[in-house]
Amino acid sequence: MRPRLLVFGDSLSFHGPDGAHAADDPRLWPNVTASRLGGSAVLVAGLGWTARDAWWSMIGDPRVWADLHQVDAVVLAVGSMDTLPSPLPTYLRTGMRYLRPDWLRRAVRKAYLGAQPRLAVALRGRPTVLPAKLTVRYLDTAVGALRILRDDLPIIGVLPPVHRAASYGFIHTGRDPAVTAIAAWGLRAGVPLVDLASVVGDHVLSGRGNPDGMHWGWEGHDLVGKAMAEALAPQLA
């Protein structure tokens, strides 16, 4: 058997030590996982994606609909970005790209990026990009839909990692509540979870990852890829 994996992810699934890479780069953890299992991976991901974005992709992307009939397992590698401080509402932050003229867009983005770490500290990491209860709701909705479509499809998720990102003021107070909520949901839903913090935490906190303090180096991708393969192997067997 050469398993085909469908991975819903965020930038942690396609950013390496020097920025973003093409989805077929063999060093990225989804491809490391697939390689160790003797198969291949289809990556559906975006910058800053949350559990909500994964659900929107699942119901709105016809390429995903086609893949869901062909894959052997689904990895819900989302929920990490949900825990980050979000001083401004998400729709305002993501809407900056639509500002015109160009000089205004650049000025607003520069001001926001300058204020973001200070606001994250001042507001103690709250609000987060997505509250933990909504992260769980979207994960649960996604799993429910997948099981209606294919009740025998193996599904696995993740617990959020840690970061040391100056761009967020080194603040991550939203992580612990999210870990508690997602872990409880995983038990209720029967979805195994890979604890990314235990796998790649030392890699990140020791400074061996991306200089942004958020994303991982190739060592981190290899560690996560191996851990995910070990978690998936029994289900695929």
The pLDDT score that the predictor gives to residue 2 is: 94
Q: What is the C-alpha to C-alpha distance for residues 217 and 18, in angstroms, rounded to an integer?
A: 8
Confirm if 162 and 205 have CB atoms less than 8 A apart: yes
Of 144, 17, 129, nearest in space to 78 by CA = 129
Number of Cα atoms under 13 Å in the Cβ half of residue 34: 25
**H helices then E strands: how many in the chain?**
9, 7
Give residue-wise pLDDT tens across range 9-42.
999 999 999 999 999 999 999 999 999 999 999 9
Give residue-wise pLDDT tens across range 156-170.
999 999 999 999 999
Of 158, 82, 78, nearest in space to 125 by CA = 82
Confirm if 85 and 120 have CB atoms less than 8 A apart: yes
Using a pLDDT cut of 70, give the percent of the chain over it: 100
pTM: 0.95
Can you tell me whether residue 127 is helix, strand or coil?
A: coil
Q: What are phi and psi of 210, to 5 degrees?
A: -65, 140
Number of Cα atoms under 13 Å in the Cβ half of residue 96: 16
